[in-house]
Structure formats: structure tokens, C-alpha cells
Amino acid sequence: MRMPGLESGLRRARQRSGLKQAELAVRAGISRQTLSALEAGRAQPSTAIALNLARALGCRVEELFWLREEGEVIRTGLASPARGSRRVLAGRVAGRWVAHPLRLDDPLSVITPADALLARGRLRLLRPRESVEANVLISGCDPGLAVLAGRVADRWAGQRLCWIGASSAAALASLARGEAHVAGAHLFDESAREFNVPFVRRALANRPMVVVTFAHLEEGFAVAPGNPRRIRKPEDIARPDVRFVNREPGAGARRLLDRLLRKAKVPTSAVKGYDRLLGGHLQVAQAVAMGAADAGVVARSAAVAHGLHFVPLSEERFDLVFPKEWSGDPRAARMVETLEGRAFRRELASLGGYDTRQSGHLVTELP
């Protein structure tokens, strides 16, 4: 049997630590030449050297060196229909392999590296098995999740947080089915006057869960630059000259729109395009930017990303939800630590429409 090769994340881990080769070599008790060879993959470390390097860099050995079996094939089902896509994100949730197709209708999927290719009902891995197993699968709709993924990867070499686009309700359902480690949601319960927690209770059937704040975000109408249709309030989208594009049922933006239309006593049948559905903030903003619609409800960051005018409607709390049993996993601690970090908060706030003062705050533990 062919032995798998040894992959190395040593150089990247050293660079992130800010150490020069000579400095790390001294701390690990090896020569700079040996360290250079290990970083270049020209040599393999002994157990003692690997342990010393991990201690010097403050990380796990698995983050520095791992075995790779090229093109390993695994069996697993798909969390959603492939619909022509062969590229997937994958990971292990509660000991079970899970795969999510990178949707062809998602503009971000083109720039998202896949973990595996779908072939005859199986997955052929494109990355080391150990690396894919370490993935954190996070389902949700807010574009800011991409910032969280980037900050996690920056801080912990080899750690990948995979953002899977989904409405808030779909994200909670995915978490309940064991298809994700984390779900993101911004759903307001009118009777309880509370964000997210009542929906978590219902979707997760009183399973022990942790709810942590991602950020507060602004939602409103994305309209063309200069707002030529003069759309300023919910009643305006019921005018016959306004073409609207909506989010799917279960989306926080859809629930917000329905709530505001009821308050304004505007029937949904009066909104041209109410039944025209797209699957994300960025997709809705893109439709408006292309002139295919005059308005849609999005997070401010999505409107800004497409150069659109934004009409604020509401501030909502976007939370991250994960099983209490997973809270002891180092990956959960890394995610929350990143949320609390200054770099993440500053970058997310710079996108526009985010209040990050409570990012990482524990909302509740259920039940």
C-alpha cells in the first residue's frame, strides 16, 4: 500500500506567530537549516521535534503536520440537492460525514475552494482528510459570516470555517438534522418580543443549545443609487411602478417585510414581485444592481457591496446557535474568541450596518 505523504502548515503557522526562522529554530532546539527543510517539505520531523515546534508556536501538532491521502473517497449523503454542482463543502458533525453542494446560483461559490468533488454518490476529497474533518460548518444568511471565516483562518493555521448560505429557519433546521455545527439566525418573535430564542426552542425541540450574539445588523430596502423610485417606507413598494424581489419563507428579511406590511395594512398581493424569490442578501442586492428589480430587503452590507442606496427599516440581532455538547470543542472556543476579538469587530463594522459591541456575548443556554 502506498504511504500517504506528509503535509505541512509550519511556515504559515510561524508567519502568523510573527517569528523569524532563526527565532523559532532556537525555541524548538533545532537548526535553522532543519526548520527551513521542514517548512519546504524536504524533511519529515521526528515526534520530539514536532512536539517542540507545536509548543513553541502554541498550537497542536495536527495544525503543523498531517497525513494526506490524495483523492481519498468517502461515502456520505448530501445535505441538499446538488442541482448540477459537483463541488461540495464537507465536514464531520457529531461523528458523521456531511456534505453541502456549492450552489451554482450562489455568486460566492465560484470563489469558494471546495473540499471534495461529487462522483457517483461519493466524495473524492481535494484536501487532506484530517483538514476536512476539522472544518466547522456554519449555516446562515448574513454576509458577515465570511469575515468571521477569514478571521478564524488568519488566527489558527489549518482551521477552516465553511459558510453555507441558508435562511435563518433553514439554518436552524440544518442544525437540528445534524448537518451543521453552527446556525446563524435573525428571527423576531412578535408575541414574545424576542429575537431567535423562541425559534431555537421550537426548531431544536428543547435540546441543550448555546446562543451567542454575532452582531446587531441593519436591514432595509436596497434600491438603485439616488433612489429614483423614491422608496422610503413599506407602502411605497406596493406602487404599480415598483418591481420588488423577495426572500424565501423562513428568512429573517422576509419575516421583517411581512411584519411591516401588516403594520402598514398593505396586502402582499399588492406588491409586484412578492412571490419572486431569491436565496440570500447578496443575491437580492445583485438583482437590484442589475436593474432586474427596483427594491428588496437586505442587510446594509449587501447594499453597500453592490453600490446601492439603502433605506433602513429595522435593526436585528443576528445570533449563532450551537449544541451545548459542542461548546467544549476547541473549535467552538476559537469561534467565540474571534467574535470577541478587536480585529473581527473592527472589520465587520467597517462593512457598514453592523453594531459589534455585543459580538461574542452569551445570550442564553437552553433549555
Q: pLDDT band for 4, please (50, 70, 90 cuts).
A: low
Element containing residue 130 per DSSP (H, E): helix 129-133
Output the CA torsion sign for 114, 118, 122, 125. Answer: negative
Domain 73-215+318-366 in CATH 3.40.190.10? The answer is yes
Name the residue type at position 336: V
What grid cell was written down for 363?
Answer: 445570550
Residue 38 in this model has a pLDDT that exceeds 50:
yes
Residue 1 in this model has a pLDDT that exceeds 70:
no
Compute the mean pLDDT over every residue in the chain, rounded to the nearest whole number. 93
Q: pLDDT band for 5, please (50, 70, 90 cuts).
A: low
Q: Identify the three-state secondary structure at position 293.
A: coil
Please state the pTM of the whole predicted model: 0.81
Q: At which residue does the C-alpha cell 472544518 appear?
A: 135
Q: pLDDT band for 7, please (50, 70, 90 cuts).
A: confident
Rounded to whole angstroms, the Cα distance separating 337 from 88 reads 27
Residue 247 in this model has a pLDDT that exceeds 70:
yes
What's the CATH number of domain 218-316, 3.30.1280.10, 3.40.50.80, 3.40.190.10, 3.40.50.300?
A: 3.40.190.10
The pLDDT of residue 49 is 95
Q: What ranges do the domains of the chain cover? A: 5-66, 73-215+318-366, 218-316
The answer to whether the 5-66 and 218-316 domains have the same CATH topology is: no
The pLDDT of residue 321 is 98
Q: Could you please report the per-residue DSSP string of 60-124?
A: -HHHHEEEE-TT-EEE--BSS--TT--EEEEEEETTEEEEEE--TT-GGGGGSPPSEEEETTEEE
Residue 340 in this model has a pLDDT that exceeds 90:
yes
Residue 192 in this model has a pLDDT that exceeds 90:
yes
CATH architecture of 5-66: Orthogonal Bundle (1.10)
